[in-house]
Amino acid sequence: MSDSANEMDSGAAAQTPSAARWKDITWNGVWKQNTGMVQILGLCPILAISNTFVNAVSLGLATILVMALANVAVSALRNLIPYEIRIPVFILIIAALVTVVDLAFNAWLHSLYLVLGIFIPLIVTNCIVLARVEAFAAKNAPLESTLDGIAMGVGLLLVLAILGGTREIVGTGQLLGSIDMIFPALKPLQVLPADYPGFLAAILPPGAFIFLGLLIAGKNWIEARAAARAGSSHPPAAAAH
């Protein structure tokens, strides 16, 4: 009984670091090292395609798919890829996956494909994808690498969704303005009054920079508040006399 109990205890102890590791990878990708608000990578698609919620989320979902598949592919092949040619091989893997996603959008979501345009193929050169493949997938197991790709993609998706939704509402007064490209039966949501004149700057490139800056400032403010609360809840110990 004691041996089996010891085995159970050791098994539970072995599972704890794994759970903590997974939680750390997820939190790191979604918030701590968010690609859009912390690493500031992939600004071209983030700023260019976030003029509407549907466009932003669609590109974000495509990026999640590519990042997850690229991470697991590179992780599975990392011991077979010579170090000297790893970057060209990584780019070839990413390019093959992006081509599949690009053709899938063209076949099944053609109207949206025309709107997203060059930004789907540009995922190949997106620093977010290549950076995670090089920094994480090439050094870790496939399962962890898949989670890292999904988490980093979700972090990007959140930034795109917030930017796209905010810019669309402020700019046009509506949300889901191009949802009919995916679901023809659906109509846009009128968020602001129907006589809202719109604010053109919000959906133009300057608006993208302004709203992204506000988003980064908001994240920094949240973290500063959290750090202040953590400091106040643990006052320094009184000096010994």
d(C-alpha 69, C-alpha 91), whole Å: 13
**Structure confidence at residue 42 as a pLDDT band (50, 70, 90):** confident
Q: Is residue 39 a part of any domain in this protein?
A: yes
Q: Is residue 206 a part of any domain in this protein?
A: yes
Q: Is residue 54 a part of any domain in this protein?
A: yes
Mean pLDDT to the nearest integer, 199-226: 88
Highest mean predicted confidence (pLDDT) among 1-15, 50-64, 146-160: 146-160
Question: What are 137-193's pLDDT values in tens digits?
Answer: 888 888 999 999 999 989 999 999 999 999 999 888 888 877 777 777 778 888 888
Mean pLDDT to the nearest integer, 112-130: 78
List of residues 6+ apart from 26 with CB closer than 8 A: 147, 151
Q: Which long-range contacts (C-beta less than 8 Å, at least 24 apart) are formed by 100-108?
A: 101/62, 101/65, 101/66, 105/62
| pLDDT (0 to 100) of residue 234 | 60
User: 7 pLDDT exceeds 50?
Assistant: no
- Do 60 and 157 contact (CB within 8 A), yes or no? yes
The closest alpha carbon to 57, from 168, 148, 132, belongs to 168
Question: What are 74-88's pLDDT values in tens digits?
Answer: 999 888 888 888 888
The residue type at 178: S
d(C-alpha 119, C-alpha 126), whole Å: 10
Question: What are 184-207's pLDDT values in tens digits?
Answer: 777 888 888 888 888 888 888 888
Q: Is residue 6 a part of any domain in this protein?
A: no
Quote the tokens at residue 54: 């549907």
Q: Is residue 213 a part of any domain in this protein?
A: yes
Q: Is residue 24 a part of any domain in this protein?
A: no
SS3 201: helix
| pLDDT (0 to 100) of residue 151 | 92
Phi, then psi, of 113 in degrees rounded to 5: -60, -40
The domain total for the chain is: 1
| pLDDT (0 to 100) of residue 11 | 41
The closest alpha carbon to 164, from 61, 55, 65, belongs to 55
- Do 152 and 67 contact (CB within 8 A), yes or no? yes
Phi, then psi, of 149 in degrees rounded to 5: -65, -40
Domain residue limits at 187? 33-230
List of residues 6+ apart from 174 with CB closer than 8 A: 168, 188, 189, 190, 191, 192
Q: Is residue 84 a part of any domain in this protein?
A: yes
Q: Is residue 12 a part of any domain in this protein?
A: no
How high is the mean pLDDT of the chain?
82
d(C-alpha 55, C-alpha 177), whole Å: 10
DSSP string, 44-91: HHHHHHTTSHHHHHHHHHHHHHHHHHHHHHHHHHTTTS-GGGHHHHHH
The closest alpha carbon to 56, from 131, 116, 106, belongs to 116
